[in-house]
Amino acid sequence: MKHFLYFLLFLFTLNVQAKDNVELIVASSPGGSVHKYALAIQPIIEKALNKNVIINFKPGGNGIIAARELLNSTPNQNSFLIGNFNSPDIWRENFKEHQIIDVRKDIKPVVFLGTIPSMVYSRPNENYKDFRQALNYGKKQKMTMALAANTPNNKLMKDIIQKHSDSEFFITVPFKTGSLGLLSVLGEHVDTGVTVIDVLVPEIKNNRIRPLALIYENRLKTFSDVPTLRELNIIVDNEDRYYNNFFLWSNTHVTNEVLEKVRNTLFKFLSDKDSEELRNSLHIQFGKNEIRNPEKYMEELLK
């Protein structure tokens, strides 16, 4: 009887080890949009591979820390990374400086997970009604802007302020997350901010903040009255490089068979009603980009 129990325990251990061997690295801290997206696709990947998926948070460094973790993951383990592509310029600079990796070769892009648009916002006030007016106001009066430190919005906003306002008067203030930046704007410590839309929705509904501009190529149906940067004549070369473009990468040890299972299962999930609530809550946009062909869009972003 004793040996039989040991045998059952041995089989159970083997079963757990067999199932519990997929890592999903999240390139952010807990609680943000990346985390929400990771929680949504975690059971989808588990179902596709019939294995447990363990989330591993690796925030910071504009995604570099998470990319390092994926690159150095255990050879016999299937590891994936979810995060935004960040500004390609920032990735290039960091990869060159730290002699790290090529995001197209050393780690594999598996799926394009869509773009989560951001908004420029402020408290309701009489001095400006949109972002163009805010930039003009910042040429003569001290202004501050809350930015999440680990997002593409940083470089985009700094470039816009330098080009269309006065960086001596209009100062960017880094926060760990967009939510912390929002709290600072609501508390009247900072004048304006930029973050993803889902964080802002409750405050927009309660009229505690005012959208000033949408950081995306087209207006959204749910916020049809919010103009894009281009509509406000705030022109940025290759603007989509600075969107929150989300991808799923894998380490180079994952087999093509596994990649196809994950790719096809996520495509089905993101294309049907099962993901409608997720897509609507995060305002995920795919535009003209193909979910199952992330390499093509990534090449465009890196031109």
Assigned domain for 3 exists: no
C-alpha count within 13 angstroms, C-beta hemisphere, residue 159? 16
Given a contact cutoff of 8 angstroms between Cβ atoms, the answer to whether 138 and 164 are in contact is no
Assigned domain for 70 exists: yes
CA 225 to CA 189: how far, in whole Å? 27
pLDDT of 243: 87
Asked if pLDDT for residue 147 goes beyond 50, the answer is: yes
pLDDT band at 3 (very low <50, low <70, confident <90, very high): very low
**3-state class of 293 per DSSP?**
coil
**3-state class of 110 per DSSP?**
strand
Q: Indicate if 227 and 155 belong to the same structural domain.
A: yes
Picking from 177, 116, 168, 174, the residue whose alpha carbon sits closest to that of residue 145 is 174
Ranking 74-83, 150-159, 288-297 by mean pLDDT, the lowest is 288-297
CATH code of the domain containing 172: 3.40.190.10
Domain extent for 265: 14-116+244-302
pLDDT digits (tens, 9 = 90+) for 212-224: 999 999 999 999 9
pLDDT digits (tens, 9 = 90+) for 8-25: 444 444 444 444 679 999
Given a contact cutoff of 8 angstroms between Cβ atoms, the answer to whether 209 and 124 are in contact is yes
Given a contact cutoff of 8 angstroms between Cβ atoms, the answer to whether 192 and 120 are in contact is yes
Assigned domain for 97 exists: yes
CA 294 to CA 154: how far, in whole Å? 24
Q: Can you list the pairs that 225-232 forms with residues at least 24 positions away whose Cβ atoms lie under 8 Å?
A: 226/119, 227/130, 229/131, 229/160, 232/130, 232/131, 232/132
Mean pLDDT of the chain: 85
- In the block, tokens 């096809």 appear at 264
Assigned domain for 4 exists: no
- In the block, tokens 């780690």 appear at 107
Assigned domain for 7 exists: no
In whole angstroms, how far apart are CA 44 and each of 37, 39, 108, 130, 270? 11, 9, 19, 40, 10
